[in-house]
């Protein structure tokens, strides 16, 4: 057995980062060396407290820094209570998660949060305590152990922009303790808040207008970018950063592998700016990255940056100075639904072209929908060349995807519909947004089949992209919208609950019955995942490009890696279409095992193909490259 000198390990990791760590910290916090020294003692404490089994995992992952970058990862996102009532229930259902082929689960916030003022758990009142009805910290650690035993990684939200107004710090601030008021943004009058309002946009314009709230007990105004009960933390105060880093490390020490940095672009505020993505945010994320790298290098940071691509990509940092390990591919997600609604792939091609040109080191989380709404952050300047006007276009997308448009079977609901801005966003489960709900309601088997075909095609598109595909729990069996929230006074003003319903275990029982919607979708997703895992062409390191199909309804994606080539075609139209391509002859359609020429390929409504070609190995390490063919790639 190798005996590891833990202290030496810690010191060598600290030394590796020390200069940069101190430089950035002292620059941000005005040379407050005392605060910096305390920060270092925090790192040491959490290193010492880290369980040997987790330290071992850190070491083995450090040997293979690509452990999360392969084509064998499949994620699933879920609320603990909706999936299995509590953490013990999730442990009991790990077999189901494995049956789904999932090896990464993202549990939505589960720390203590006051009922009715929790924003789905995003208002934490105690970072060291699990919400009692979900279990305890020990249950969380047990779940993490079981996950690791079964080869599953665990991701958890770290709600760092704000605390609940019931958090200990907030309570002490309310009681008048200046030291704790300084952990938030308090103002004696509305003068400065009003100045902020001139430049800061609103996150929830209808459900929680404004960025500030009056705090009666103190007689002051407090900054609340999200809901009034979510008090923004002041990261210009080093005590806040030190203590929040400790909270993050505490979660990692429970065995959490991936921390999702919730609402991270918002964590630094400066008057006169939009208080989003300020340079100090990047300094803080870099510091957190280094902190984790010193204490627990087998862990990852996932940034929640729901912004346009130019704002997202900087959160990867640089190769030398990385920030987040993974980010959401949010624009591709929104553009996918735009494409469903318009049956026109031109914007999606443009978006994918931009993603494909990014360094392969960048890992995106790809998804069709999550627990939040779908916001229409599309590339409007690009769309304007086809005559699309932003407000009118958003209205069309919302009309189509909520079923208000003539003959639309899609069943979403609007979110934060602010008539002044015409800026409503959209909610709904993937199945309901694909038309399955309406078809089943009408008992129209033909329509249901077509909607299921669309649902499967969208997942195939998801699985074709580099990065990690993440399914929202329930989507694997085509779960429909849950309208129950309309009856719940604690939820009825937040339509995001329409797609956060309880998991239907009775429906999951049908997943192996091919005559059911559940069986069709589940089996298809399993098959897609298995094909993806079995073929290196889906590796993150693959060369990827947009294939010109000369048909605005068919998206074409090419992939090439280590002698394997894939031409993937997706028909976003509800009528049969032809991809006018002239590519490889005699490919294997991985989806149905048939041999097809990649030449003028006809696709049924919402159909897709995965045309695969393996080149003969000529000699060791070299492959006969399809040089002439690959010139065809277009962006
Ligand atoms: C993130 C979460 C969202 C929440 C918000 C405030 O954007 O995804 O659900 O409302 O943060 O914490």
The per-residue pLDDT for range 512-545, each reduced to its tens digit, is: 999 999 999 999 999 999 999 999 999 999 999 9
Q: Measured from the CA of 159, which atom of ligand 1 is nearest?
A: 12
Give CA–CA dist 185/529, Å, rounded. 47
pTM of the model: 0.94
**pLDDT number for residue 565:** 98
The shares of helix, strand and coil residues in the chain, as percent rounded to the nearest 5, are 40, 20, 40
Give CA–CA dist 292/289, Å, rounded. 5
Q: Measured from the CA of 226, which atom of ligand 1 is nearest?
A: 6
Residue nearest to atom 12 of ligand 1 (CA): 122
Query: pLDDT tens for residues 444-468?
Result: 999 999 999 999 999 999 999 999 9
Find out whether 94 and 146 touch, Cβ atoms under 8 Å.
Answer: yes
Phi, psi at 203, each rounded to 5°: -85, -45
**pLDDT number for residue 3:** 55
- Helices 445-464 and 330-342 cross at an angle (nearest 10°) of 150
The C-alpha angle 420, 426, 432, rounded to 5 degrees, equals 150
Cβ partners under 8 Å of residue 220, min gap 6: 181, 186, 187, 188
**pLDDT number for residue 423:** 85
Find out whether 564 and 630 touch, Cβ atoms under 8 Å.
Answer: no
Residue nearest to atom 3 of ligand 1 (CA): 372
Q: Which of 111, 259, 262 for mutating ligand 1's site (highest number of atoms within 8 Å of CB)?
A: 262
So where are the chain's domains? Answer: 333-358+366-497, 539-622
**pLDDT number for residue 420:** 76
233 forms beta bridges with 184
State in Å: Cα 182 to ligand 1 middle: 24
Say if ligand 1 is within 6 A of residue 439 CB. no
In the chain, which stretches have pLDDT less than 50? 1-2, 622-635
- C-alpha atoms less than 13 angstroms from C-alpha of 581 in its C-beta half-sphere: 32
Helix (H) or strand (E) holding 578: strand 577-582
Find out whether 265 and 305 touch, Cβ atoms under 8 Å.
Answer: yes
Provide the CATH topology of domain 333-358+366-497.
TIM Barrel (3.20.20)
**pLDDT number for residue 617:** 62
Find, among 169, 227, 185, the residue nearest to 202 by Cα.
227
Q: What are the catalytic residues? A: 262, 304
Say if ligand 1 is within 6 A of residue 497 CB. no
Q: Measured from the CA of 306, which atom of ligand 1 is nearest?
A: 7
Find out whether 431 and 475 touch, Cβ atoms under 8 Å.
Answer: yes
**pLDDT number for residue 92:** 98
**pLDDT number for residue 635:** 32
Give CA–CA dist 617/620, Å, rounded. 7
Q: Measured from the CA of 204, which atom of ligand 1 is nearest?
A: 10
By residue count, the chain amounts to: 635
State in Å: Cα 229 to ligand 1 middle: 13
Which two three-digit tokens encode residue 177?
């303790």
Cβ partners under 8 Å of residue 156, min gap 6: 106, 107, 109, 110, 251, 256, 258, 259, 260
Say if ligand 1 is within 6 A of residue 372 CB. yes
Find out whether 374 and 336 touch, Cβ atoms under 8 Å.
Answer: no
Residue nearest to atom 10 of ligand 1 (CA): 119
Q: Measured from the CA of 371, which atom of ligand 1 is nearest?
A: 9
Say if ligand 1 is within 6 A of residue 32 CB. no
**pLDDT number for residue 206:** 86
Helix (H) or strand (E) holding 171: helix 168-174
State in Å: Cα 349 to ligand 1 middle: 29
State in Å: Cα 263 to ligand 1 middle: 6
Say if ligand 1 is within 6 A of residue 268 CB. no
Say if ligand 1 is within 6 A of residue 262 CB. yes
Burial bucket for residue 420 (CB in 10 Å: 0-12, 13-18, 19+): exposed
**pLDDT number for residue 105:** 98
Residue nearest to atom 9 of ligand 1 (CA): 372
State in Å: Cα 518 to ligand 1 middle: 30
Phi, psi at 261, each rounded to 5°: -80, 100
User: At the fourth CATH level, which superfamily is domain 539-622?
Assistant: Golgi alpha-mannosidase II (2.60.40.1180)
Say if ligand 1 is within 6 A of residue 307 CB. no
Tokens 């790809």 sit on residue: 366
**pLDDT number for residue 623:** 47
Residue nearest to atom 7 of ligand 1 (CA): 263
Say if ligand 1 is within 6 A of residue 120 CB. yes
Tokens 């080539």 sit on residue: 565
Say if ligand 1 is within 6 A of residue 226 CB. yes
State in Å: Cα 227 to ligand 1 middle: 10
Which two three-digit tokens encode residue 488?
């719940």
Q: Which of 118, 226, 261, 330 for mutating ligand 1's site (highest number of atoms within 8 Å of CB)?
A: 226
**pLDDT number for residue 5:** 74
């Amino acid at each position: 057995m190798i005996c590891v000198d833990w202290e030496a390990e810690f010191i060598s990791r600290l030394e590796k980062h020390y200069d940069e760590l101190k430089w950035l910290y002292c620059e941000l916090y005005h040379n407050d060396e005392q605060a910096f020294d305390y920060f270092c003692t925090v790192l040491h404490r959490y290193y010492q407290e880290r369980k040997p089994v987790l330290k071992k995992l850190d070491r083995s992952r450090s040997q293979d820094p690509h452990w999360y970058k392969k084509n064998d990862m499949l994620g699933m996102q879920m609320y603990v209570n909706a999936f299995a009532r509590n953490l013990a229930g999730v442990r009991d259902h790990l077999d189901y998660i494995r049956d789904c082929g999932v090896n990464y689960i993202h549990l939505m916030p589960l720390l203590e949060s006051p009922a009715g003022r929790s924003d789905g758990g995003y208002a934490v009142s105690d970072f060291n305590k699990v919400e009692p009805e979900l279990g305890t910290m020990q249950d969380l650690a047990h779940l993490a152990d079981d996950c690791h035993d079964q080869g599953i990684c665990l991701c958890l939200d770290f709600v760092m922009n704000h605390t609940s107004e019931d958090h200990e710090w907030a309570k002490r601030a309310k009681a008048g303790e200046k030291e704790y008021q300084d952990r938030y943004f308090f103002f004696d009058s509305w003068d400065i808040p009003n100045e902020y309002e001139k430049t800061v946009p609103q996150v929830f314009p209808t459900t929680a207008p404004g960025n500030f709230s009056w705090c009666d007990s103190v007689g002051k105004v407090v900054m609340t970018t999200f809901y009034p009960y979510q008090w923004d933390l002041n990261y210009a105060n080093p005590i806040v950063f030190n203590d929040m880093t400790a909270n993050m490390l505490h979660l990692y020490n429970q065995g959490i592998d991936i921390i999702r940095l919730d609402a991270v672009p918002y964590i630094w505020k400066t008057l006169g700016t939009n208080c989003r993505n300020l340079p100090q945010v990047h300094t803080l994320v870099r510091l957190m990255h280094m902190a984790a790298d010193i204490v627990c290098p087998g862990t990852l940071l996932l940034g929640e940056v729901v912004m346009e691509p130019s704002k997202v990509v900087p959160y990867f940092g640089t190769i030398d100075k990385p920030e987040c390990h993974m980010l959401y591919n949010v624009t591709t997600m929104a553009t996918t639904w735009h494409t469903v609604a318009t049956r026109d792939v031109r914007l999606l091609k443009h978006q994918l072209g931009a993603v494909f040109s990014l360094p392969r080191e960048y890992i995106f989380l790809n998804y069709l929908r999550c627990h939040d709404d779908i916001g229409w952050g599309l590339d409007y300047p690009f769309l304007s060349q086809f005559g699309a006007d932003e407000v009118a276009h958003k209205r069309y997308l919302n009309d189509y995807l909520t079923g208000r448009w003539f003959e639309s079977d899609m069943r979403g609901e609007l979110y934060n519909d602010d008539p002044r801005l015409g800026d409503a966003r959209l909610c709904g489960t993937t199945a309901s947004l694909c038309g399955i709900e309406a078809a089943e309601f009408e008992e129209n088997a033909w329509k249901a089949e077509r909607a299921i075909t669309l649902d499967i095609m969208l997942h195939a598109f998801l699985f074709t992209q580099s990065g990690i595909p993440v399914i929202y729990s329930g989507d694997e069996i085509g779960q429909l919208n849950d309208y129950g929230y309309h009856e719940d006074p604690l939820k009825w003003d937040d339509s995001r609950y329409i797609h956060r319903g309880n998991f239907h275990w009775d429906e999951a029982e049908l997943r192996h019955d091919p005559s059911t919607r559940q069986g069709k979708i589940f089996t298809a997703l399993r098959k897609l995942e298995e094909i993806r895992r079995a073929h290196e062409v889906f590796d993150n390191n693959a060369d990827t490009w947009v294939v010109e199909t000369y048909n605005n309804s068919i998206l074409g994606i090419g992939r090439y890696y280590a002698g394997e080539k894939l031409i993937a075609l997706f028909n976003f139209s509800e009528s049969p279409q032809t991809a006018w391509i002239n590519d490889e002859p005699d490919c294997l359609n991985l989806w149905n095992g048939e041999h097809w020429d990649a030449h003028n390929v006809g696709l049924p409504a919402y159909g897709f193909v995965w045309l695969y070609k393996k080149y003969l190995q000529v000699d060791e390490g070299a492959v006969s490259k399809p040089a002439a063919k690959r010139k065809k790639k277009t962006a």
